[in-house]
Amino acid sequence: MRKRIEYIDVVETLAIFFVVCCHNKALLGQSVLATAILQFTTTVAVPLFFMANGALLMSRPLDLKKHLTKTGMLVTAVFAWRLLTWFLVMPFDTKTYSQIGAVNLINYLLGGTTSAYIPVEDYWYMYRLIAIYLFLPIIKLAYNHDSKVFKYLMVIMFVSAFVVTEIDFIFKLASKWYGIGLISVGSFRDKIFPLSLISDSGFYFLAGDFLHRNYYQKEISKKSRIRLAITAVAAYALLLFQKLLQQGTLSGSWQRLDNDYLRIGTLVLASSIYALFANTDFSNKKHLNRYCQFVSVRTMNIYMIHMYLIYVFNRLLVPKTSFRGVGIYLLSTLGIAIVGLLVTEPFTYIGFIRKILGLQPRR
């Protein structure tokens, strides 16, 4: 058994809580503070997951057969969870019976949408993860044997994801303020760059490995850690400012920052936070490590079911709750994460269900 890396357990535990925060918005309210919390969680949650995956997988030797088997099981788990969620929604929405025929059901399992709402929109992350896994052998080949090719790939992914997004954001603001025609560099990018689907997630994945190698168990000065913290605050302030430019206000109904995962501010914020965690010694924090290891192993269990639990929560409990605010929001978010653990844990002991649904840990 490989020795666990404590900070990655902490990062993944924090990230899964942020993911649930992103989607459990009903009780938060519409204040500036609500926007600030959601803007933070929506921009760092998934990048932290990609970074943690990159730190783990890029440092290990690649066994192609095992890797392809793991990728195939991940695909199976996504299909199984989408089908299961469809069945679980039926008691709340009878349209799922009548409006999804055989062909539409197959399209839905392959990632399509349906006329009846089924809470699986967050599964885009799983498809990106599958795409990264499919390209990982090629990325590892360049990484291990030709540093120039690997650096070239990193530059192309950075420009494709982050630089193009910032340019398009400026063009969109110019179109809004000055009434000029909308220009899209992204449409050109999509036509010439075959890896545009994973340019952002792939860059986060590889950035996680870079940060792990440069900060894990390395001596850095207190000033360097302070600079990382200041950089994170500045990046977050930039994201809030861009949100203000886009929407005109930081209060009212929630609206995501356009392409928020593809912003340079998001990359800097997530990288700074990840570097700080990677450089923190958690070895003497036994209780924290025990809790975080328990949750970290089960993050995919929570991820796969949390949107359905939020769907049920919004239908059954939110209409009966008059309270709104940060406290009840964080409490309900924690409750949903805990319920996700409680619901999935018994099935980790049933071998064939655990394998089909991709549940962890292996018993």
pLDDT band at residue 99 using 50, 70 and 90 as cut-offs:
low
pLDDT at 195: 81
- Asked if pLDDT for residue 95 goes beyond 70, the answer is no
Ranking 73-82, 180-189, 207-216 by mean pLDDT, the lowest is 180-189
DSSP string covering 260-321: GGG-HHHHHHHHHHHHHHHTS--TT-HHHHHHHHHHHHTHHHHHHHHHHHHHHHHHHTGGG-
Mean pLDDT of 86-102: 74
Mean pLDDT of 301-329: 93
| Sign of the alpha-carbon torsion through 7, 8, 14, 18 | positive
Nearest to 58 by CA among 202, 268, 264: 202
Ranking 39-48, 111-120, 260-269 by mean pLDDT, the lowest is 111-120
Mean of per-residue pLDDT scores for the chain: 91
pLDDT at 2: 62
CA–centroid distance for 308 within its chain:
17
pLDDT at 43: 94
pLDDT band at residue 341 using 50, 70 and 90 as cut-offs:
very high
pLDDT at 362: 85
pLDDT at 169: 92
The 10s digit of each residue's pLDDT in 230-276 is 999 999 999 999 999 999 999 888 889 999 999 999 999 999 999 99
| Other beta carbons less than 10 A from residue 214's beta carbon | 12
Specify whether the CB–CB gap between 143 and 150 falls below 8 A: yes
Which amino acid is it at 156? Answer: I
| Residue owning tokens 């290891």 | 293
pLDDT at 85: 93
- Asked if pLDDT for residue 205 goes beyond 70, the answer is yes
Can you count the helices (H) and strands (E) in the chain? Answer: 16, 0
Specify whether the CB–CB gap between 353 and 359 falls below 8 A: yes
- Asked if pLDDT for residue 13 goes beyond 70, the answer is yes
DSSP 251: S
The 10s digit of each residue's pLDDT in 148-159 is 999 999 999 999
Alpha-carbon distances, residue 262 vs 168, 215, 248, 352 (angstroms): 11, 24, 21, 38
Specify whether the CB–CB gap between 312 and 89 falls below 8 A: no
Length of the chain: 363
pLDDT at 98: 59
